[in-house]
Amino acid sequence: MTSANRYMACCIVIWFMMQHVYAQTKLIQHIKARTHLSLNGRWNYIIDPYEMGFYDYRREPFENSASGTGGFYDNKKAVDNELVEYDFDLSPTLNVPADWNSQSDQLTFYEGTIWYRNKFNASPQAGKKYLLYFGAANYEAHVYLNGKKVGMHKGGFTPFHFDVTDKLQEGENFVVVKVDNTRKKDEIPTINTDWWNYGGLTRDVLLAELPSSYIQDYKIQLAKDDPQWIEGYVQMSDSTSNQSIEINITDAGIKTSLKTDAHGRVNFRWPAKKLTLWSPENPHLYDVTLIAHGEELQDRIGFRTIAVQGHDILLNGKSIFFRGISIHDENPLIPGRLRGEGDMRMMLQWAKELGCNYVRLAHYPHNESMLRLADEMGLLVWAEVPVYWTISWTNPQTFQNASQQLGDLITRDKNRASVAVWSIGNETPLSDERLDFMTKLAKQVRQQDSTRLVAAALEVHREGKTVIVNDVLANALDLASFNEYGGWYWGGDPSELASYSFDIAFDKPVVITEFGGDALGGFHADEHTRWSEEYQEALYKHQLAMLQKIDKLRGMTPWILTDFRSPRRQHPHFQDFWNRKGLLSETGKKKKAFYVLQDFYRQVKTKYE
């Protein structure tokens, strides 16, 4: 065999090995309903800005060495005076799930690699499958179990997991994760965002135990074109026929036994007899049970329809006004990613108090628990991927990344009644390449889930006193939705907004995805003094007066529910690395503008619905 053939053969072998190592399993639906061991808690960690635990001193990955060892993932202890320059047992700990920035002053601004290590006991059973699951890790994660690589994942806000059945051992196991939140131009999001780059294992980590063939995915929703029918599918992990699946929705009079086809899949369509439809006023959820190979899985699913018709948005066939507010995944009171259901309930309760029936979960996929809470509390949701601002439109890997994150978001949340809108991005600058990139994402949404609306925060510009909305991306979308900051970034004093008008080139429902201005909570002055609560209050009054002139207006999500941290906000007194557009301050105090919007939402119920 010539050296060239030997090289080629070697490449092929490595390729197959990589496929196995990186065999990230297809996303599982409703992981928390499965038998699982939580790995949440205190994990030891090592800060590694130069990635000493991954590369040797010639910047070669230890993984590529003949032994594949030498990295921190070996979790080595020095013996007999051996030189080992790390020790997890003697290292400090971080809470998981949580970002690292909010857990230590030395990590507030940290961008780079941190190694996490956790030890746990297991007793793997024959005939079972074991998935190591991460709710999210921001931004790039390399995962090792008992010193062996199980795979890597990119994307800071979507779940991922690996089949570790062949690496799990009886008794003590150790899992090591390299998480790197370094911002990079060609990633999703890119290097330029207006939110804190919270790094780490920010959502649940768990080890799931499953039958050898398990219920991998399912969709159970009202049919798009005929709400008299419930339709969907179940996909088993094994693509084999004749697998028995039982689905019971007792309160809907549904109890069925099904068999998979040769792809391990079964599609179904049942008459929806006298269902109580889900709505914000009556967020009715049905108990759904799915049974296969001895696994019994419980979910709670609401049934409703969402559609656009001319200028109207129809919920269950009736026109609705999206009384919304934008929300970041951050607890203002204890700065950091929302840490659990209590944090999430607090945010959504504030939205309910504001009079909302709708929230924009900006600018990236939020925690799955947030969507399940929205189902329960009766809030419609605009869900979004972080295709934000100046993305590398011509890079194929960047598009693949965006498409993967969008697909994973839809896979995860497609059974949530609260999700009404899939958003493919925010304020992306006009170009042919951007239009192509975004139009493909819009098409992907329609192929993957035709039952919901697809939208984006479009580009707008001004000509004199006219706000022009003619971003042709709207032609691929269901809403004419855009951000505008009259009275803050342009237009002079808010009182001048009365002289502005809108020229919206699309015959679609108009949803204002952002407007607002900063106010330092507790700073009071006259309504013409920027940064005061009075200025923000006046801005909301004048904005609402201006926006009501738009006859196709069918909703809004002003920016934003609470102050949030951003590395772009340097004013030492008014900002101090906080974006102050919140209607509540970082102490949870309502600013005067909160009551302006709350009053408007009381009125709008009658006017538009």
Contact residues toward ligand GCU (CB under 6 A) are 194, 363, 426-427, 483, 514, 559, 579, 581
Tell me the closest approach of the beta carbon of residue 46 to ligand GCU, in angstroms.
33
Q: Toward ligand GCU, which CB reaches closer, 427 or 471?
A: 427
The whole-angstrom separation of Cα 531 and Cα 543 is 16
Residue identified by tokens 């098409």 is 443
Q: How far is the CB of 194 from ligand GCU (least distance, A)?
A: 4
User: Shortest Cβ distance from residue 91 to ligand GCU (Å)?
Assistant: 35
Residue 74 or 427 having the CB closest to ligand GCU: 427
C-alpha 406/C-alpha 414 separation (Å) is: 12
CB of 89 to ligand GCU, least distance (A): 41
Which amino acid, residue 154?
K
Q: Which is nearer to ligand GCU, 304 or 569 (CB)?
A: 569
SS3 per-residue string spanning 410-459: HHHHCCCCCEEEEEEEECCCCCHHHHHHHHHHHHHHHHHCCCCEEEEEEC
Work out how close the CB of 139 gets to ligand GCU at its nearest, in angstroms, rounded to a whole number.
18
End-to-end distance of the chain based on CA atoms, in angstroms?
A: 76
How many other CB atoms are there within 10 angstroms of residue 58's CB atom? 5
Residues 160 and 338: their CA atoms lie apart, in Å, by 19
Burial class (CB in 10 A: 0-12, 13-18, 19+), 170: exposed
Minimum distance of ligand GCU from residue 370's CB (angstroms): 18
Nearest distance from C-beta of residue 195 to ligand GCU, angstroms: 7
Is the Cβ of residue 86 or residue 578 nearer to ligand GCU in the bound state? 578
Q: In whole angstroms, how close is the CB of 567 to ligand GCU at the nearest point? A: 12
Describe the crossing of helices 341-354 and 592-608 by its angle, rounded to 10 degrees: 70
Paired tokens of 262:
């040769």
d(CA 211, CA 131): 11
Residue 237 or 579: the one with the smaller Cβ distance to ligand GCU is: 579
**Sign of the Cα pseudo-torsion (519, 522, 523, 526, in order):** positive
> What distance lies between CA 494 and its chain's CA centroid?
34
Q: Which is nearer to ligand GCU, 140 or 514 (CB)?
A: 514
Beta bridge partners of 547: none
Q: At closest approach, how far in Å is the CB of 389 from ligand GCU?
A: 8
Would you say 523 or 559 has its CB closer to ligand GCU?
559
DSSP 600: H
